[in-house]
Amino acid sequence: KAGVTQTPRYLIKTRGQQVTLSCSPISGHRSVSWYQQTPGQGLQFLFEYFSETQRNKGNFPGRFSGRQFSNSRSEMNVSTLELGDSALYLCASSTQGAQEQYFGPGTRLTVT
Amino acid sequence: AQSVAQPEDQVNVAEGNPLTVKCTYSVSGNPYLFWYVQYPNRGLQFLLKYITGDNLVKGSYGFEAEFNKSQTSFHLKKPSALVSDSALYFCAVRAGRTGGFKTIFGAGTRLFVKA
């Protein structure tokens, strides 16, 4: 079974721009979560989607948004980028609820 | 509010010696506890989980973890460390209910295994 894939793997953007990151979960997984990983803040939960509905959200500003499609693929969008948004963005999928998550390799976003 | 603490930023151990990476948690309701490992420039890999049942759970690569409800701990252990175990280890608690879960990660513990 193919693992979680994320595109693009690397991205360089300028302050004020917006960016869209994509995640394809493991086949059959309907839950997709997004995390931001930085050296200073560690791994922080952004949001979780299940069956195209956002089920939970972390403490991030409204500039961070996401969606999930009917095939469980998910995208996250960050608008009006700030330098502090530079991070590794990880996507994870799971079958449901409390089960373990399987992570993609991440998208490394650099904001200049 | 849920929280996870990994009190050690770094753990150093000699190859062949037993290793322990500590984790304590705070969660309302039943805890769903996990350990993940991250190798350089890669995503996290699932190691093991505790949902219910036996307090000692076994996972990948010879790792195991002991759930202790009274001490609210979930320490990761391995009887004999390998150099290839050197990585960043995260403890996590998944909390919520049907309709919405979120995973809270600890800050991570870097494990160095010396040959």
Structure tokens, B56? 């000692």
Asked if B3 has any chain A CB less than 8 Å from its own CB, the reply is no
The nearest CA of chain A is from the CA of B21 a distance in Å of 17
Structure tokens, B70? 């009274």
- At B87 the pLDDT is 96
> Is B19:B85 a contact under the CB 8 Å cutoff?
yes
Alpha-carbon separation of residue A25 from A29, A33, B112 (angstroms): 6, 10, 32
Asked if B61 has any chain A CB less than 8 Å from its own CB, the reply is no
A17-76 pLDDT, tens per residue? 999 999 999 999 999 999 999 988 889 999 999 999 998 899 999 999 999 999 999 999
pLDDT at B28 over 90: no
